[in-house]
């Protein structure tokens, strides 16, 4: 009974090329071009094929452990560090910290599998998809910028809750500006908007929620022009303000805050930061 040889796509390609080379339908140079190999390697493969047939082209490593496979002690050491220092970290961030702080290099997917097997990570692909239809992005960087604030325990139990103001580009989801403040206020939005414009220039429009900083929510308000101080200042700069009808409509910045509440909180913890001033100074130095 003849054993069936399992060959990869690359090995099958080499087999077809070597058959044509042996039959005289290809030159050594043409075979080398098709396989991306030099003349010496082509002669070596041709000799092996002549002596051993197709089996000589199959990798000798098939069925054997990979030379790049990590040992069990390495795996246990990595997982012990994750449990001690990075228990609530995702595989990507944990991989970065293991290499940066401990000099241990491991692939993200490898660490993901180890963490899942160790009960340290749940595969997010099993979560139900969002029922909300995403809004179409703007086409150009800086055309529409989403702005919002997120009150959160950014310093965990090391300091009081505070708010992070963020400016996110709608076209690219690029994080354009961040600033920690005590709470959302018109003054802090004025200061952050000025800092954004000084660095990135004026956008066509800002996209926000319906906070009273951005629009007058009292339909029976008497007097005035129906504009807040912030929207009036933007109008003077010829910048529009668009207020979203739902949190899902400004999904770019909502998603950004979700990521920041995971990664940024952990970075602040590792840096030992526990105050707004220190956080803003640290952010500037990034």
Domain map (residue ranges) of the chain: 9-57, 72-126, 144-284
pLDDT in tens, 217-228: 776 655 455 688
Percent residues over pLDDT 70 in the chain: 83
CA atoms lying within 13 Å on the CB side of residue 165: 23
Comparing 54-58, 88-92, 145-149, which segment has the lowest mean pLDDT? 54-58
**DSSP state, 122?**
-
Q: Which residue has the higher pLDDT, 49 or 269?
A: 269
Write out the E strands in 10-161: 144-152
As a whole number of angstroms, the distance between CA 107 and CA 32 comes to: 33
Which stretch, 38-47, 110-119, 125-134, 175-184, has highest mean pLDDT?
175-184
As a whole number of angstroms, the distance between CA 255 and CA 141 comes to: 18
**Long-range CB contact pairs, 209-214, < 8 A, 24+:** 209/148, 209/243, 209/244, 209/247, 209/250, 210/243, 210/244, 211/184, 213/184, 213/185, 213/186, 213/189, 214/241, 214/243
As a whole number of angstroms, the distance between CA 282 and CA 154 comes to: 14
Provide the pLDDT confidence category of residue 22 given band limits of 50, 70 and 90.
confident
Provide the pLDDT confidence category of residue 62 given band limits of 50, 70 and 90.
low
Q: What's the CATH fold of domain 144-284?
A: Nucleotidyltransferase; domain 5 (3.30.420)
CA atoms lying within 13 Å on the CB side of residue 133: 1
Phi, psi of 278 (to 5 degrees): -65, -35
| Contact in structure between 256 and 166 (CB atoms under 8 Å) | yes
């Amino acid at each position: 009974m003849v054993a069936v040889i399992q060959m990869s796509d690359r090995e099958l390609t080499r087999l077809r090329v070597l058959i044509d080379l042996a039959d005289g339908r290809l030159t050594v140079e043409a075979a080398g071009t098709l396989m991306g190999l030099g003349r010496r390697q082509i002669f070596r493969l041709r000799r092996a094929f002549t002596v051993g047939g197709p089996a000589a082209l199959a990798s000798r490593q098939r069925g054997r452990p990979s030379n790049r496979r990590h040992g069990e002690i390495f795996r246990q050491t990595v997982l012990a560090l994750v449990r001690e220092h990075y228990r609530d970290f995702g595989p990507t961030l944990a991989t970065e910290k293991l290499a940066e702080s401990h000099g241990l290099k491991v692939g993200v997917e490898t660490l993901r599998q180890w963490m899942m097997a160790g009960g340290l990570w749940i595969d997010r692909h099993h979560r139900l998809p969002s029922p909300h239809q995403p809004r179409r992005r703007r086409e150009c960087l800086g055309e529409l910028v989403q702005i919002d604030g997120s009150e959160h325990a950014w310093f965990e139990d090391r300091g009081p809750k505070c708010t992070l103001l963020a400016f996110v580009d709608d076209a690219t989801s690029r994080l354009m500006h961040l600033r920690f403040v005590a709470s959302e206020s018109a003054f802090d939005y004025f200061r952050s908007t000025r800092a954004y414009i000084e660095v990135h220039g004026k956008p066509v429009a800002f996209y926000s929620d319906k906070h009273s900083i951005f629009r007058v929510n009292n339909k029976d308000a008497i007097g005035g022009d129906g504009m807040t101080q912030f929207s009036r200042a933007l109008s003077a700069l010829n910048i529009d303000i668009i207020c979203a009808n739902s949190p899902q409509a400004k999904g770019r910045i909502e998603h950004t805050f979700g990521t920041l509440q995971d990664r940024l909180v952990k970075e602040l913890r590792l840096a030992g930061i526990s105050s707004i001033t220190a956080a803003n100074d640290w952010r500037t130095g990034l």
